Amino acid sequence: MSAVLRSWSDWPINDCGELLKRVPDSLYCLEPHPYLSLGAPYGSNSDPWRLRESVLVRLGEAQKLLQTDYPQLRFGIYDAWRPIAVQAFMVDFTIKKECRLKGVDLNDEFDLFELKKITEEVQKFWAPPSIDRSNPPPHSTGGAIDLTIIDLQSHQLDMGGVIDQIGEISYPNYYSSFSINHPNSNEYLWNQRRNLLSSVMEKVGFSQHPNEWWHFSYGDQLWAWKNAYATAIYGSCDPADNNEMIC
């Protein structure tokens, strides 16, 4: 089935050669890792808690901004770098999960239309596992991060929807219109929290995925497209291709 066209898919890439580095202890990673727990094929040498150097620096700056006004809060990192094999695994897993939820039989030819609709909806959130180096999935570049806000006891704040949830509820501004006239509602609180997350991330140079309140990019094609930069500075990055982990 054809992939959903993304506005940034053909944006030029001129990789700057930054290293992948492990997320430091100052940033909290939510364990166990959600995709490792599902059996995603990271391989023995593929640590998912890695990002490009500049991404980690900016994440640290964003967390400091958050804690300036909310010292009781910090980031909870959900996912970071993701190899192509894991992207393929998770796309397949998500399509099958959505089919189960909607009662669609993958092997029934009469359900092909519903399967197509589900696949297209999933592709709004999960980039295709492309091996084309001119169009890598954002997470495979080391420039994309999925995160939320947690308290100092590591409890995730309710954001009005869980990470990786398929559907419009995951759009960053999903609660915006309703919350305007309902300041005492849960929807207002969820909208405020989503706005807080996007605000601190964007202040240090990240760009938010248009369909995902939790996804932010720096350096990849999405980031370059949203900022109208001439090129992305991060392309596909796999330490298995280089023992020195230079991308």
User: Measured between alpha carbons, how far is residue 11 from residues 96, 98, 142, 219, 233 in Å?
Assistant: 30, 30, 17, 12, 11
Check 61, 187, 212, 244 and give the catalytic one: 212
Owner of token pair 């995925």: 209
Q: Residue 215 is inside which H or E element, if any?
A: strand 215-217
Contact 213, 156 (CB under 8 A): no
Q: Is the link from the previous residue into 32 a cis peptide, with omega within 30 of 0?
A: yes
Is 202 labeled as catalytic in the residue annotation? no
Token pair in block for residue 195:
């706005």
Amino acid (1-letter code) at residue 118: I
> What is the Rg, in whole angstroms, of the alpha carbon atoms belonging to the chain?
18
User: Measured between alpha carbons, how far is residue 234 from residues 47, 133, 213, 223 in Å?
Assistant: 19, 11, 22, 10
Cα torsion through 99, 132, 228, 140, rounded to 10: 70
Amino acid (1-letter code) at residue 25: D
Point out the residues that are catalytic: 212
